Amino acid sequence: MASNIMKNIKAKKLVHYDRESDVFYIGMKGIEEEYVEVAPGIGAELDENGRVIGIEILNASKVFQPMIKSIGQKALATIK
């Protein structure tokens, strides 16, 4: 999985969702010096200055599902 993410970064694809492993990644250009788990299943990649250059969300479909459901309900309410 990590190798796929690195290939996408090298290809300048900075937002990626891997359906097979259910990982969502947002990245910016930079070289990762440190990886920090900021919450269970959510990690941040930091550069040499401690700036966030990437965010990785494991089990992304479960993380985003409540938000998607809420947005859908609000959208339906505005149609009525």
Of residues 26, 22, 3, 2, the one with CA closest to residue 13: 26
User: What is the residue extent of each domain of the chain?
Assistant: 2-79
The per-residue pLDDT for 47 is 94
- Distance, CA of 18 to CA of 54 (rounded, Å): 15
| Residue appearing with tokens 């930091």 | 46
Mean confidence (pLDDT) of the chain = 83
The highest-level CATH class for domain 2-79 is alpha beta
**pLDDT tens digit sequence for 46-76:** 999 999 999 999 999 998 888 877 777 777 7
The more confidently predicted of residues 9 and 34 is: 34
In order of 43, 50, 64, 72, the CA distances from 23 in angstroms are: 11, 23, 11, 22
